[in-house]
Structure 1
Amino acid sequence: MAPDISRARRGRRVGAASLAVAALAGTFVASGAAHAATSTTAASVTFGGMQPAWATASADRGQVASGTAVTSTIYLAAKDQAGMEAYAEAVSTPGNALYHKYLSASQYQARFGTTAAQISAVESWLRSSGLKVASANSHEIQVSGSAAQTESTYGLSLHNYSVKGKTYRAPAGSAHLPAAVAADVLSVGSLSTMPLTMAPAGAINTTATEDAITGAKPTMGTTRDGATYVGQEPCSSYYGQAVDTTAPAQGGKENPYVLCGYSPQQLRSAYGVDGVTGKGVTVAIVDAYGSSDILSDANTYAKYQGDPAFKPGQFLDTETPADFYDYADCGGPADWSPEEHIDVEAVHAMAPAATVHYYGGNSCQNADLLVPLQQIVDTHSADIVSDSWGSVVFSSAGNLTAADKDAYDQTLMQGAIEGIEINFSTGDCGAEDPTTGCGANDTSTVPQADWPDTDPWVTAVGGTSTAIGKHGNVLWDTSWGTDIYLPPTTAGSGWSYLEWYFGGGGGTSAIFSQPWYQRGVVSKTLATTLPDGTRTTSAMRTVPDVSMDADPYTGFLIGLTTTLPDGTTGVGVEDYGGTSLASPLFAGLQADAIQVDGGRRIGFANPAIYAEYGTGVYTDVTGKGPGTKAYNDMPADDGTDATNYSVGFGDDQLLTATPGYDDATGVGTPNTNYLWARLGW
């Protein structure tokens, strides 16, 4: 009998429409927000990376009708692009004379930001070309016009392409911009009509039932102590608590039942942040859409767990529900609700006095999720940002354009200069192998590392399986990778392997060069070997940078409004995981670190993370510890004592945890020394 795991969401995307980006391997390589243009003549400059991988000759259905309405976006360059990148590196690197000499948002704008004269010059050129300017700010100019006007303005041709039975518009080649304005343009985007969407990096649920929060915590039974769990039973409220004596032994011993889900107190204890609250720090969370019950659910859940609720003004919400759209490609607010809840509640669990500012994009499209990031850096509204979403780069149905990459780069570097830490989760499908169920679901065409977590200006947070013991201590960590086994069908037949299910994302990027902070830590072999085995001629960016608990089988209890078993709607608790747990956990830990360090901002954390590699503040996850030999049993949800299936830990397929830096867990996972070593960052 197949395991009853229908409620466990396969990876971080739901449905084929939840594609994000694809490109041909080696199409472009970037070390930062490099200008995408190359001179061709004195009168024009070529901007490459415009044509999607799916815009092939065989798919070409001819040039777009000249009168077709077309919208596009000009992303604007900084007035000193090279100086901006150099300052972002200097201000983030320990030992540099400019280390932590952050600029305010206004200082950034004055020194590096796009000037009014640049915006005016580009607007004048666009209008003189016949396009209508819809909106303009220091990041971008959005314009509209006919296809003929657009083609003439950008010096390219727009064609229709047939992809999987649908027709999409895309450029048939590079753009050619006048030299007089080319220096003011970072890239040209939005010319393709195929949706470029992101999806939540987890919020994976392994339970089959929910129940209402009643104020009285349910118990496991008379033989076990109280467990804050209302899903499948039996389960363990700490690792190894409840042993399954009804199923055959596996790995030479009886297996514990899977965890009920960790409480906030258990996670704080495991990472050594008891008594620290993140007071005075603001953590921003960016997701698509927003749930009207985020705050009320978080407060109900906090009280249920014995933690303080948000105080007035401690939770801020920036979203525009009237402008939400693209539910077909993104799943809509309902699909993103668990992600939003786990992000908010995990940060609050780790840093209960930190201010949490939630930002909801109007859809899951790249451009709509970039807008909140731009708002944050333009107003410096947060010290830390947690982003639990992303997508594959090489997809059967999408494309990462130079415009998308460069626009994110620009915003991320601005954040670094202002001392804002921006974290992204690495995903929940290992190296996105398309031969696995989750890789196929993610429309991956080749084993690969995801994006935006591979951007060099991002702190990429990967996943571990973390066993927390009875006294809140970490018994072991291993890389998150889950194998599913079925119980013996006949006496003496033994457990049978079913499939690899999911695991923490990571790997070596095919598009970003190795950043300065990884040199000397990431081995040359790893930095020049892509997840599909291809060797590169130069070292490339490798992720994750750091890892925290993500495995849904060692997951976190969250509270959210849901349909309860009796058919009513109420606040229930369920255990969830994914690297969308790891990223907000790390954001909360960093908020605590800022408080401990007297309020000094961490900023872009990677150079300091790698500088402190090997100093004892991280636990090196080697892949040889007890977690790689551990199995847990999942009970059936039919009220019997039957074991439905078991999970094996530590198998992340193409990603391997080894001594030292590795592509499964990065430098390792912060331990109880981490917080107190932050003094003096």
Structure 2
Amino acid sequence: MSLIDHKRAVISISKGLLLVFMLSSITEVSARVPDSIKSVAPKIRLTHAIDDQDRVTLHGNRHPALNTSIDQGPVNAELVLQNMILVLQPSASQQAELDAFTQAQQTPGSPEYHHWLTPEEFGNHFGVAAQDITTIKNYLTSHGFSVTDQLSGAHTIVFSGTAAQVKQAFHTEIHNYLWQGENHIANSSEPQIPAALSSVVSGIVNLHDFQSKSRKPSTTPSTPGSSLTPNILPDANTDLIAPYLNLTSTSHYLTPSDFAAIYDINPLYAANINGSGVTIAVLGKTDVLLGDISKFQTVNQPPFTTVNLPIVVQANGDPGYVSSDQTESTLDLEWAGAIAPQATVKFVTSPGGPLTVNHFTVQGDGITYSALYTVTNNLADVISLSYGACEQSMGSTYLNYYNNLWQQAAAQGTTVVVSSGDSGAAGCDASSNSTASNGLGINGLCSSPYSTCVGGTEFNEGSNTSYWLSNNPAQTPYTTATGYIPEVVWNESGTVLYASGGGKSQFWSKPNWQVAGGVPADGVRDVPDVSMTAALHDSYQIWITVNGVVTQQFIGGTSAATPAFAGILALAVQYNGGRLGNINPTLYGLSQLQSNGSYGYFHPTLSGNNSVPGQIGYTATGTAYNLATGLGSVDANILIRHWRDYGNANNKTLRAAISNISSSLLNPSNTNISISSSAASITAGQALTLTANVSGDVPSGSVQFLANGVALDHTATLSGGVASLTTAALTSSGTNLITAHYLGDNNNLPSSTVSALSEFVLAAPSISIAVSAPTISAGQSLTITATVSGASPSGSIQFYLNGAALDSPVSLVGGVAALTTNHINITGNDTLSAVYSGDANNAGASSAGLTETVTAALPTPAPLLSAWMELVLALLLAAMLVRHRKFSP
């Protein structure tokens, strides 16, 4: 190696250490911690009268599957849609405060660190004003809907009504569709709402019956080394391997005690860390047989010492036994409790799915309501969800719904874990498909930065037989695993797509905490975050009723890895004395420490990929992170006992390492980014050019601009340290906070703007005019009324007649200005128009012309004599007659 190459290598290593050092501190530096959230409160935003004729379209509420479905016409007008959810949005300033607050909650040393809120406190500060909620409820009930729920948090309103009422209130019809052989109902077009409600209402959930799917493989796999025929359950989505027996050296099953031996949980059990005092919520949409779970726990003692059955919470009625979901929920409940045997496990379940009650009632997706009920009632310390939907198919309303919900959970201290899926990189294809055809995709229920996405690994025993005992013991707890087994990416695809879900979000930008070796500099949220075993050849034992008999079966997939990891987190909550909230910043912070010589919290995945037939995926190359298994699996004992390492380290280890490197080799290594705009204020939708200047060591790469924390358009490429983006995406009136993030390159560290650039956006109002009469005579009195929409417009209106100013300007009152005039004298078809002057929050605007027909004035008749004038004349005439007679000869 030449001296130059050696120097470059040293610089690269040094900058890597500095990168970890700086990014492990970035949250603390950039967090804007409020002195007190008491000053944050919802303001009344619905101040205009609701005009059902003045409407706006809510985009992102029509299911993309309809583009490839066969429309079979409208449903019966009396069809009842249950559990529709109106999604409400906080103001821009509330959202900025909430983002800052939830960031501060995970910033060690912050006054708000682990300061959790109740749902009521969340709603009081970050929800919608009570008066606005009442206004919206009144609108719904005025159209015949029944408002069935108003849950804590003030972000949603749950309501029900008929298809006819949906059409009347939201101007969209509910149609029958045939999609890939399945019958569905859905709204045929994007819904519309009165413009007066648009500042608060952002969308509608459950206008269709497309369901989130169980995230477990959906066909029965073959069993390596076994010719046994698996039992078949009535659940069409169940994956079974073989009855309980000694499988071959290449095919095993997992009991809870096996899992504990592999992932180093036993030292925690020995210290009575068993989930006591912690609550896990498992979300579902079916009933389960508690006898199945009792059998599972009775057989697996230890870790169970006594039967500890879950508490069933029917959030919105009894869903009944749904064959396509029962195995999923049984699996989730048995394994969440298996890892935290003394935790309280709550099964929150809601009706959802196909038509019921004589085919005249349809439920929305039960998972959406189960999730909403759990969060808004603050039911659990940890939430486990093993369902999903392709991010591209969800639409912006569903994605925002879950992101808002998971952010509320984070603010309340609840940790949310969601499975990444079982179709490898082809997350928009069913895992049972033989070939992927829908491109790259991920699970949209776990792509939110406020949830932890759990992928799947596969044990790589190879020819080494020492990882398992040669025979299963004849007595409980049936432990055959001897310790940790090396892992690769779970990929059993071939005739099916079974592999760990993972990839890049097409909706969410990169959170600042997602930093680790191997994390792509792509500017977007990457999933999964962690993984646990999910392969079928070493699958999870469950007990479930088959044909009336409680039977032992075996299953795999990320839907098994997820509740097991939720159980580990329940142990972490107990050990650390309280809730953990959004654990992602801590996970990635610990990974940075591990990369620099700290404890082995994770087992990084060294090889494998999640490519499946028809779709190339992502490969593990031994770095700390990869897009198939995230940070890898965990050593539960080390992770839990050293959970606070990231917060308590104060970067001493990193500073010590960096201090031994010559500073002359390190400079320059950091960067600074500043931004400017082409105009301090613009009108909504107007093109604006944003420019970023990045200082450093000849920085290259790209810059991501963000407005109010949301990525704008595409990334901008640096040239000469400057990157520019011209965008027309700023449409939210008021002050928009513009920031930028430099993604870094080989010689420069990433950096973010220290303070936001305030860009004021004027609303782009529209003007409509009306007249009291379409036809008048010249000089006749006429009233002209102008109505202005916008951000509470004030100011004045100048009316015009054939392009010339008509009388004096008229002040707006409540968005309306009226002029009564008799100065219209030009006969024929005259053109009336109006020009709005604009104000501090609204741009000026002009109306379209309105034709007024003016006819010639009628001749003015001679004025009639008044009665008293007639009397005077009569008296004068009489006097003249008398005088005439007097002087007559």
TM-score normalized by structure 2? 0.54
Structure 1 residues 513 and 469: alpha-carbon distance in aligned structure 2, compared to 1, 3 A threshold: same
Shift of the alpha carbon at 1:414? 1.0
Contact 2:284/2:366 (<8 A) preserved: no
Q: Aligned equivalents of 1:441 and 1:500: distance in 2? A: 4
- Partner deviation per Cα, 1:462-521 (whole Å, 9 max, x = no partner): 00113554563113111100156xxxxxxxxxxxxxx46511111112222222322565
| Aligned partner (choices 135, 154, 172) of residue 121 of structure 1 | 135
Unaligned 5+ runs, structure 1: 1-40, 212-228, 237-255, 326-331, 485-498, 528-538, 564-568, 629-647
Q: Considering only CA atoms, is the larger Rg found in Structure 1 or Structure 2? A: 2
The alpha-carbon distance between structure 1 residues 608 and 142, as it changes in their structure 2 partners (threshold 3 A), is same
Shift of residue 340 of structure 1? Answer: 2.0
**1:405: Cα distance to partner?**
2.1
Give the equivalent residue in structure 2 for 1:133. Answer: 146
Which residue matches 1:338? 327
Asked if 1:106 corresponds to 2:95, the answer is no
Aligned equivalents of 2:440, 2:217: Cα separation in 1: 19
Alignment correspondent of 2:590: 612
CA distance in 1, matches of 2:516, 2:246: 47
State the partner residue of 2:358: none
SS of residue matched to 2:438: coil
Deviates more, 1:399-408 or 1:583-592: 399-408
Secondary structure of the corresponding residue to residue 84 of structure 1: helix
Give CA deviations for 1:424-448 in whole Å, capped at 9, x if unaligned.
11111112278x8836379962231
Which stretch shifts more, 44-53 or 263-272?
44-53
Aligned match of 1:50: 61
The question of whether the paired residues in 1 share the 8 Å contact of 2:219 and 2:432 is answered with: no
Residue 177 of structure 1 aligns to a residue whose secondary structure is: strand
Matches within 5 A, 1:549-588: 549-563=533-547, 569-588=548-567
Partner residue in 2 for 1:592: 571
* Mapping for residues 288-437 of structure 1, pairs under 5 Å: 288-292=285-289, 294=290, 296-307=291-302, 309=304, 315-319=310-314, 323-324=318-319, 333-363=322-352, 367-394=365-392, 399-432=393-426
Out of 446, 471, 474, the residue aligned to residue 439 of structure 2 is: 446
Give the Cα separation in 2 of the matches to 1:302 and 1:438: 30
8 Å contact kept, 1:187–1:403: yes
Structure 2 contact 433–496 (Cα < 8 Å) conserved: no
Aligned CA-pair RMSD: 3.8
Q: State the alpha-carbon separation in 1 of the partners of residues 586 and 230 from structure 2.
A: 42
Is 1:673 matched with 2:652?
no
* Conserved? CA contact 1:392–1:444, under 8 Å: no
- 1:511 paired with 2:501, answer no
**SS of equivalent residue, structure 1 residue 516:** coil
The code of the aligned residue for 1:607 comes to P
Task: Tell me, yes or no, if the aligned pair for 1:122 and 1:184 is still in contact at 8 Å.
Answer: no
Contact 1:315 1:355 in 2 (8 A): yes
Structure 1 residues 561 and 108: CA distance shift in structure 2, 3 A: same
Deviations 1:189-225 (A, max 9, x none): 3444x533422434876565579xxxxxxxxxxxxxx
- SS of the residue aligned with 1:342? helix
Q: 1:524 to 1:263 in 2, by over 3 A?
A: closer
Aligned pairs for 1:278-297 within 5 A: 278-292=275-289, 294=290, 296-297=291-292
Q: Does 1:235 align with 2:247?
A: yes
Q: Name the SS for the 2:280 alignment partner.
A: strand
Residue 97 of structure 1 and its aligned partner are, at CA, apart by: 4.0
CA contact (8 A) 1:366 1:404 kept: no
Q: Are 1:475 and 2:485 an aligned pair?
A: yes
Which residue identity does 1:451 align to in structure 2? Answer: G
The change in CA–CA distance for 1:334 and 1:83 in structure 2 (over 3 A counts) is same
CA 1:353 to 1:400, structure 2 compared with 1: closer, same or farther past 3 Å?
Answer: same
Q: 1:310 to 1:289 in 2, by over 3 A?
A: farther
Of 385-394 and 465-474, more deviation after overlay is shown by 465-474
Instruction: Give the counterpart of 1:273 among 261, 265, 282.
Output: 265
Shift of 1:522: 5.6
By relative contact order (CA 8 Å, sep 6+), the higher-ranking structure is 1
Change (3 A) 1:669 1:165: closer
Query: Is the 8 Å Cα contact of residues 301 and 558 (structure 1) preserved in structure 2?
Result: yes
The unaligned stretches of length 5 or more in structure 2 are: 1-49, 232-240, 354-362, 462-466, 470-480, 595-599, 648-889
Cα shift readout 1:634-679 (whole Å, capped 9, x = no counterpart): xxxxxxxxxxxxxx99x99623212231111101111252222124
Aligned to 1:664: 628
Residue 232 to residue 205, structure 1, CA distance change in 2 (3 Å): farther
Q: Secondary structure at the match of 1:446?
A: coil
Offset, 1:121 = 0.7
User: Could you say if the C-alpha distance between residues 610 and 122 of structure 1 is closer, same or farther in structure 2, counting changes exceeding 3 Å?
Assistant: same
Q: Output the amino acid matched with 2:395.
A: T
Whether the 8 Å contact between 2:59 and 2:190 is mirrored in structure 1 is yes
Q: Deviations over 1:124-178 (max 9, x none)?
A: 23344x343342414224243564x645533567777665688866556544433
Name the SS for the 2:485 alignment partner. strand
Q: Equivalents in 2 of 1:302, 1:77: separation in Å?
A: 43
Q: Is the 8 A contact 2:277 2:343 kept in 1?
A: yes
Whether 1:198 aligns to 2:224 is: no
Cα pair 1:424 1:459 within 8 Å, conserved: yes
SS in 1 for 2:349: strand
Aligned residues: 533
Displacement, 1:55? 4.3
Q: Relative to structure 1, is the Cα distance of residues 585 and 100 closer, same or farther in structure 2, using a 3 angstrom cutoff?
A: same
The separation in 2 between residues aligned to 1:335 and 1:288, in whole angstroms, is 10
* 3-state SS of 1:656 partner: coil
For 2:543 and 2:183, the matched residues in 1 are separated by 42
8 Å contact kept, 1:68–1:146:
yes
Instruction: Tell me which residue corresponds to 2:526.
Output: 542
What letter corresponds to residue 504 of structure 2 in structure 1? T
C-alpha contact (below 8 Å) 1:429/1:438 kept by paired residues: yes
Report how far residue 579 of structure 1 moved: 0.7
Once residues 450 and 667 of structure 1 are traced to their aligned partners in structure 2, the CA distance between those partners, rounded to angstroms, is 18
Amino acid paired to 1:264: P
Distance 2:69 2:530 in 1: 43
Q: Which amino acid aligns with 1:315?
A: P
Letter in 2 for 1:369: I
Q: How far apart are the structure 2 equivalents of 1:450 and 1:653?
A: 17
Report the CA distance shift for 1:181/1:266 in structure 2 as closer, same or farther (over 3 A). Answer: same
Q: Would you say the 8 A contact 2:449–2:511 is kept in 1?
A: yes
SS in 2 for 1:613: helix
Verify the 8 A CA contact 1:390 1:452 in the aligned structure 2.
yes
2:315, 2:370 within 8 Å by CA — same for their partners in 1?
no
Write the letter of the residue equivalent to 1:187.
Answer: G
2:75 and 2:149 map into 1 onto residues whose CA distance is 27
Partner secondary structure for residue 416 of structure 1: helix
What CA distance in whole angstroms lies between the structure 2 residues aligned with 1:184 and 1:69?
Answer: 28
Cα distance 1:312–1:111, how it changes in 2: closer, same or farther (>3 A)? farther
1:572-615 CA deviation, whole Å, 9 max, x = no partner?
Answer: 22222111111011111111112222x22111111111111141
TM-score by length of 1: 0.69
List per-residue Cα deviations over 1:333-357 (Å, max 9, x = no partner).
2332322222122122211111111
Q: 1:57 to 1:299 in 2, by over 3 A?
A: closer
User: 1:544, 1:368 → 2: CA distance?
Assistant: 24
**Structure 2 Cα separation of the partners of residues 267 and 273 of structure 1:** 8
Deviation at 1:368, TM superposition (A): 1.5
CA distance in 1, matches of 2:69, 2:218: 39
Paired amino acid for 2:324: D
